[in-house]
Amino acid sequence: MSKIDLSGCFYQYAASSPERSRVALFNADKNRYQIFKSNCLTFGNRHSILAAQAVTDMLVLLGLSAGIVVSGYVDDFVLIAPADIAETQFRWFKKTLRFLGFDLSDKPGGCVLGQIGQPIDILGLDYTVYEDRLTVGLGEAKIVELEKAIFRF
């Protein structure tokens, strides 16, 4: 199991018409909303998530048509492959995304070629593939972070 994360997903999708791509932000000083135009999809705009997921779904279909088992959620792609072809498929999908003009995450844990026994953080959960099983759980650091957040309340 491997993971590929797009960098700044919403900033990579240009709005076809900034006149129609607007976001309302509340101005507390004026006690009212202000409307702003945007040249890219805005995270707060409910249509942005739909557009981003539609692009992701298209990219997933591209991967599937190339024989890669891939799933995508907004800007995260998860690839599942046998160990002997995992690296080839991971590199192909990354190269294809770059060829299509997408920026990939360079942050630690952003794009990870899975290794047997090594956890990969996918949407906040640690996935670990072993020879005979897959485990899903929370890492120790996340458990401590959650405990701290709970005790603050």
Domains of the chain: 2-114 (3.30.70), 116-153 (no CATH)
What six digits make up the tokens of 149?
Answer: 């957040």
Considering all CA atoms of the chain, what is the largest pairwise distance in Å, rounded to the nearest integer? 61
What six digits make up the tokens of 57?
Answer: 């779904």
Helix residue ranges, H only, the chain: 9-12, 46-65, 83-99, 140-152
* pLDDT score recorded for residue 11: 63
* pLDDT score recorded for residue 24: 74
Instruction: Please write the tens of the pLDDT for every residue from 5-46.
Output: 998 776 666 656 666 666 777 888 889 988 877 666 655 556
Q: What parts of the chain have a pLDDT lower than 70?
A: 10-22, 38-48
* pLDDT score recorded for residue 152: 84
What six digits make up the tokens of 125?
Answer: 């959960």
* pLDDT score recorded for residue 34: 84
CA–CA dist 92, 126 (Å, integer): 24
* pLDDT score recorded for residue 101: 87
* pLDDT score recorded for residue 99: 94
End-to-end Cα separation, the chain, in angstroms: 36
CA–CA dist 139, 109 (Å, integer): 14
Backbone phi and psi for residue 110, each to the nearest 5 degrees, phi listed first: -75, -55
